[in-house]
Structure formats: C-alpha cells, structure tokens
Amino acid sequence: MITLASDFGTPYPAAMKGVVLQRTDARLVDVAHDFPRQDVRTAAFWLREVLPYFPPATHLVVVDPGVGTDRAAVVVRAGDHALVGPDNGVLLPAARRLAAPDADRLETYVIDERAVGPVEPTGPDPAADASARRPTQSNTFHGRDVFAPAAAAVHETDTDALGSLEWLESTAMDVDLELPAPTVEEQRAAGEVLVVDGFGNAITNVPGSYLDGRERVLVNGDLVPVGETFAAVPVGERLATVGSHGYVELDVNRGRGDEAFGLEPGDGVVLESAAEPAD
C-alpha cells in the first residue's frame, strides 16, 4: 500500500500515480492533495495524526518548497512503515510516532536522485525541439521524477532491506521539525493554534486533559463553555472541546471556530481556569 500526500491540487498527483503504477501494482490511497501550499508544519501535523491509522505502508509525501535546491530527497524507515519525501522536516513528526517505542526503528536514507529513475513517459516530448536536450528530471516536479519512482521501489522492498537498494545511502536527517510544545500548569495553559481544519475548528497544541473536570474555561480572556460534543452548545455558539486528535479545539457548533475566536495557525492561545461563572 502506498499513500500519497501533497499540496499539488490536481492533476499533478495523477502523474505521480502513473509513474508508480508503471512500476508496481500497489494499492494507492490519497491522504490529501490540498495541504496549504508549501506549508511544511501543517502537513507534518496532519501526517502525524492520520498515518498511524494505516496498516504498514509506504507514505509518499511531497510538500517541498525547496524542490530543485540542494535539500535532500529521503526515505525514512519508521517501524513497519516507510516514508518518502523531502528532507525538510515534513516527515519527522509522523515518523517518530510510527517508529516508537524503538528509536532504532527510525532510519534515514538519502536518495541518489540521478539513479532512482529515470521516468520515461510514452511518446515524444511536445516541448522539445531538435536543438534542445532536456534533463531526464525536471527541477520543479520531483514528486513525479524522484519521489514517485522511489516510493514504488520502496514498496517493493522489505522495510528491513531498504539498505540493499543501491540508490539509497544511510544518512541522518538535515532538517528537524518539532511541533511547538505548550506550557501547561494546573490553572493555566499557554500554547498556540497548530492548524485550522476545513470546518474552521482551531486545533491547539494544548492536551485535551487540561479540560478534564472543567465546565468552562477562559480562552484568551473570554469565558467559553467546555463541551464534549459540538452539540453541547446552541447552534452558532462557541465552545472548547477535545478534538479527535486529543488536543483542545476551539469550535463553533455548526460554524467556524477560527472566525469566532479570531484565531489563525500560529496565534497564541492562553487557557485559564474560570472558577466562577462570569455574568
């Protein structure tokens, strides 16, 4: 099984799929191709939350603002899973979770970009003329020309034998990425909005356990009810709840929490105890 995730929209992911299916008959599953453009942190968050629900698989991830630069293309073995993508941190939060509890099940290999292909489409290149020799790989679409053939080959290889692939070399990741950690005390938690989902729910990095036993909470100074479900408050009203990823989420029942709270990804969120109901 190969999952695919990118910020490509359409139809670029289809070209990746064609390349993969030239090489393997793996099942393909889309994670998302509408991640915010070139937003490595948001993609890293979602991959960490979603990929652990899959059975062992190869995960092809292309959110790659540095495509064509000297950032490495890598394969990460994470437990029984493998991740293929750019060395810009996007793979790491998911890989660390998938590899746990054995840190030695997290291994990184750099891809020799000139050796993994080449990708050969059918028919003549419409953009070519007699005087031109195009490179065998584009500088702007490594998803198709590097990562897709790599993912197909990784899928065909046992995760314990990745070191035997001649176009892979064991390495260490250049770029780390840790999602920001909150400060949580008994009465007060200071964190930030990690992402806003498509419903407008503002997902913070404060563990949901902060809300345990609370019926209301101050959110950046505003008193807000705590609910177990969206429907705990009337339609259109705000609440704090524990989202499906386990974090405190700032929502509106059948509305957009980001707009009602005035919050965007990266904005600070301070949660404080509200001992007595305000008026």
Query: Of the ranges 107-115, 158-166, 196-204, 270-278, which one interacts with its own copies (CB under 8 A)?
Result: 196-204
Would you count residue 134 as binding its own copies (CB under 8 A)? yes
Would you count residue 68 as binding its own copies (CB under 8 A)? yes
Backbone angles phi, psi at 31, to 5 degrees: -85, -55
Q: Which of 127, 161, 275, 278 binds its own copies (CB under 8 A)?
A: 127
CA gap 220, 214 in Å, rounded: 16
Q: What type of residue sits at position 83?
A: L
Q: Which of 75, 91, 99, 111 binds its own copies (CB under 8 A)?
A: 99
Nearer to its own copies, 25 or 156 (CB): 25
51-55 contacts, C-beta under 8 A, 24 or more apart: 51/3, 51/81, 51/83, 51/94, 51/97, 51/98, 52/94, 52/97, 52/98, 54/1, 54/3, 54/29, 54/81, 55/1
Would you count residue 53 as binding its own copies (CB under 8 A)? yes
CA gap 56, 94 in Å, rounded: 13
Query: Of the ranges 35-43, 155-163, 215-223, 259-267, which one interacts with its own copies (CB under 8 A)?
Result: 35-43
User: Restricting to residues 73-92, which ones interact with its own copies according to CB under 8 A?
Assistant: 79-81
Would you count residue 115 as binding its own copies (CB under 8 A)? no
Query: Of the ranges 83-91, 95-103, 214-222, 266-274, which one interacts with its own copies (CB under 8 A)?
Result: 95-103
CA gap 124, 255 in Å, rounded: 51
